[in-house]
Amino acid sequence: MDVIVRSTLPEDFGGIIDMCNAVYPGASPWQEVQLASHLKVFPEGQLVAFDRLSKRVVGMAASLIVLWDDYESYESWRSFTDRGMFTNHDPENGRTLYGAEIMVHPDTQGQGVGSMIYAARRELCERLNLRRIRAGARLRGYSRYAERMTAREYADSVVRGELRDPTLSFQLRHGFRVLDVVQGYLKEDPESLGFAAVIEWPNPLAVETRVRPPTSR
């Protein structure tokens, strides 16, 4: 592979949808109208990992800026992303980069593509002088343990390194911390049973550029 991470283009939409079907078989993939809306409201926040040898999309990230105080941590993915349209993107007031999606094609997982995408998203957060990245990490492995422990106990075990979760363990290695565990984030996800960890990567380079009242933005 010869992979680069670059801004998403309209001609990438088909590859993103195909990849989404491979990653989430049986689930509704991203729609072109949603992907087009992302580019319209926040083109800088939309990234793809593109393999220049095979000429195909092998990873993607979708992000928007939110004023965190406009939401409760227990709200769903649909609420944080305005039904996947990102029309709630608020660069004027928000200081939080919300990670709505990161995915890597199953054929290329374990080859460093995800790490490249996460690095590009951190660079974006730093360049825009945002306070943090926050996201909902669906607890993909929880369904196997649901009869033995609560979702919070499962997440705590992953944080301590006693269990490995395909999503959360990777994010912890990339500097994220768990703030909370919520139910109903992705309500129809059979792997997580709808549970997700609210995670945060604080931007160490963030600088306040104007006086604002204290908030958790």
**pLDDT score of 147:** 97
Task: Please check whether residue 119 lies inside any domain of the structure.
Answer: yes
Higher pLDDT, 217 or 196: 196
Query: What average pLDDT does the structure give for the chain?
Result: 93
**pLDDT score of 57:** 98
Contact 181, 169 (CB under 8 A): no
Task: Please check whether residue 184 lies inside any domain of the structure.
Answer: yes
- Residue-number span of the structural domain to which 83 is assigned: 3-202
Task: Please check whether residue 153 lies inside any domain of the structure.
Answer: yes
State pTM to two decimals: 0.91
Look up the CATH number of the domain holding residue 184.
Answer: 3.40.630.30
Task: Please check whether residue 211 lies inside any domain of the structure.
Answer: no
Mean pLDDT of 131-142: 96
**pLDDT score of 72:** 81
Residue 217, pLDDT > 70, answer no
Tokens of 129: 């002088």
pLDDT digits (tens, 9 = 90+) for 166-214: 999 999 999 999 999 999 998 778 999 999 999 999 999 999 765 454 4
Q: What percent of the chain has pLDDT over 70?
A: 96
Which one, of 122, 110, 127, 98, lies nearest residue 185 by Cα? 98
Question: Which range is least confidently modeled, 98-102, 116-120, 190-194, 210-214?
Answer: 210-214
Task: Count the domains in the chain.
Answer: 1
Cβ-Cβ contacts under 8 Å for 117 (sequence gap 6 or more): 5, 47, 49, 59, 60, 61, 102, 104
pLDDT digits (tens, 9 = 90+) for 149-174: 999 999 999 999 999 999 999 999 99
CA dihedral 196, 44, 131, 20 (to 10 degrees): 10
Q: How far is CA 211 from the centre of its chain?
A: 29
